[in-house]
Structure 1
Amino acid sequence: MHEQEAYRNLRHNVRINTIQGIFAVLAQNLTAPFIPLFAIKVLEASDSQVAWLSSLPALTGILVLLPGALFIDRLVAKKKFTGSMIYLRGLFFLFLAILPFLSFDLYWMAWLFVLLIGLMNIPFSVYQLSWQSFIADVIPASQRARVFGSRNRITQGMGTITTIMTGVLIYLYGGAAWAYQTIFALSFVVGILEATTLRKIKEPELQADKKVHTLAELWKALGQEKRFLIFAMASAVFHFGWQMAWPLFNIYQVSPEYANMSALWVSVITVCNSLMGVLTYPWWGKVAQKIGHGWTLVIGTAGLATAPLLYSLTMNLWVLAAFNLWMGIFVACTVQTLFNRVLEVSPDDKRALFIAMHSLVIGVTAIFAPQFGVWIMGLFDLNFAFYISSGIRLCGSIALGLVVIWEMRKLRNGAL
């Protein structure tokens, strides 16, 4: 391929990748911020059921990660398969839309809702794995920080608008079940548009005789990749502290015993968090290019360590909104940099498998961390659980920093 043609293809793929990202974030922001609200306000879900909204998707996700990675690793072309996973996930939004029509007791309807959310993560987990491997083939490593900084800024802006409009819709109609059904159905439609757009990306021609890896080869390769292993362990510590607070935030924000937010306030909080992502994604991309993905991730995770602690200070909604402006800066940094950091520590010839292994590690923590958070809350109180979450997050950030220092020493000695 001539250099000029390669440049044209890259520009085309960057543009289509951004459009696909817009549809992806629209589907996400139509539903994700309001799933706990629907569970608690409409289905009257218990604290345990709210915790399983985080734990069950993690469980179903890790069950398919390795088989999915081994399958993806065999694919010469990944675009078609990635799109099919988007279509499959969209079907679950249709199931969620018809859920309130079923004549079940609210208790069992809440469990069915949790089950559907968990099962929906099967195609979504495989999609994320396939997309990460696919896009790594499409966007050169030297361009990723810049491309994804720009992409994330645009997509987060669209996502912010979507969240505001969705929250207003639910609020205006008093949190009626049909309002949630509408957004679930819209997510299905947007998912179709996302998959259709993804198919327009020009996939590079790879060798048809690509080596197929087995599970035994993966375990052997893992033992040889010390850099990846210590990064995965440090990442697991941080993610445990991050994930244990997810149900706590949902309970704190929505439950009548605490902040008792309406759909409108949930959207305001989400928008405040997303707004700083819109403003700071490109800046974090520049920071990563200057100081490296490793140190940038340390900054992001250290900032996120302050989030549970800040929440423990007040139930004033305006102050919580201001806190989310602060948190959004570090969410943007962590989410954007983590993807690039995993690619950085993964060997190129087994990228999909190593992405899967990292996802598997944090998927395991995501099963137990939310349950641990709710258990600590029941044993002591919500604020104490927030303190524990902040402490574990900070330990994880320090561990990620130690990994960077270890890498620098190895690099100086020519051993990396």
Structure 2
Amino acid sequence: MRILISGAGIAGPVLAYWLTRQGFSVTVVEREPAPRKTGGHAVDLFRPAMDISEKMGVLPRIEAHATGTSRLTLCPEGTLRPARADLARIFGATSDRHAEIMRDDLSEIYYDVTRADVEYLFGDSITELSPDGAVRFAHAAPREFDLVVGADGLHSTVRRLIFGDESRHTAYIGAYLGVLTLPDTAVDDGELRIHVGVGRTAGIYNARAGAARALLLFRSARELDCHHHDTARQKELLRTAFDGMDTEVDGWLQALDRTPAFYFDSITQVRMDTWSRGRVTLVGDAGYSPGPAVGGSTTLSVVGAYVLAGELARAGGDPERAFPAYERAMAAHVLVSRAMALRAAKTLIPTSRLAVSGLVQATRLLSVLPAGPSRAFLRLTTKSARVYNAMTVADYAVPPALSRPSDARASTGVDTES
């Protein structure tokens, strides 16, 4: 059975790995000309995603590429007195299995473990798609696949082609996110430094490999007139939103026009009643993004990819049985992720001076409480992490290793087979 996956970010390679383990023939098409190095931000892997990664044999690489961020310095806007906390203490109290890793590093790790068994078509994209699996590409010759999976993110092409315009399936939750790359000298190694004010939060941390990442989050009561590819407009919005917050933040804004990597988007959830139609389905952010930077979208993507592959194997590749089972298995995880993201957005970007004060006081309290009371306090205040760690996933049986097609490969050229 031939399966096409659109997107080589996180969900795509994880899905490709488990599908090939189950004996399916997999092709991944990716718009970028090579594995992504777009300057993405750090992402969290909670227990279920760590367990799945361990089964894939990549956990040592993930742990070796962890950001190493261990200290939080929280600077409330308008005061010179910061609050500090031990991040290792926080994560240790909420999870016995957790890793923070740069998104690009994680994507590369998952790609590396699949490239020998999966055909990758880089520098190409789907232009036409029918629910029965007939596909036209921007460059490669048309093909027919038994199944097609959209793993192509928040602005999914597969979702648009099969389910219609993006606006029908997304819900803006009131904020925007910008990420830029700076020299690693902008922040001490191991420190997450955050400036927080009413309606805006700016933070910086070391991203390894000689670079730091600055994250800029701000609230807006309405969606702004800004296309997700209009970087000039996006940078202007960030300058306006963070004007006068702090001299350190001013320095980050001055680097906007020379940053080697930049990301900007609305914090938007994907809300759909079903992620499947005919022989096409969605996985990860394409089908159920809880919102960038505020939800456990990476853990949800890894879990979703694993579950989809498992249900397809159980159903012998029959989408009429596999897709509904996949959606049933993921439904509760998706709903709780949406709720947690809304809660996290309120905490990360406070809506009032009282909320800013509460965040700062909670951070100070963590730094002075003894270990026992500190753990109890954290269990009450870190509900999001606890929810993701508590996700349960079926253990899908995998048959003994199957032989792989000898010509499975990564390709950067135009495929000419039909």
TM range (shorter): under 0.3
More strand by share: 2
Scaled by the length of structure 1, what TM-score is found?
Answer: 0.27
Does 1 or 2 have the higher relative contact order (CA < 8 Å, sep 6+)? 1
Scaled by the length of structure 2, what TM-score is found?
Answer: 0.27
More helix by share: 1
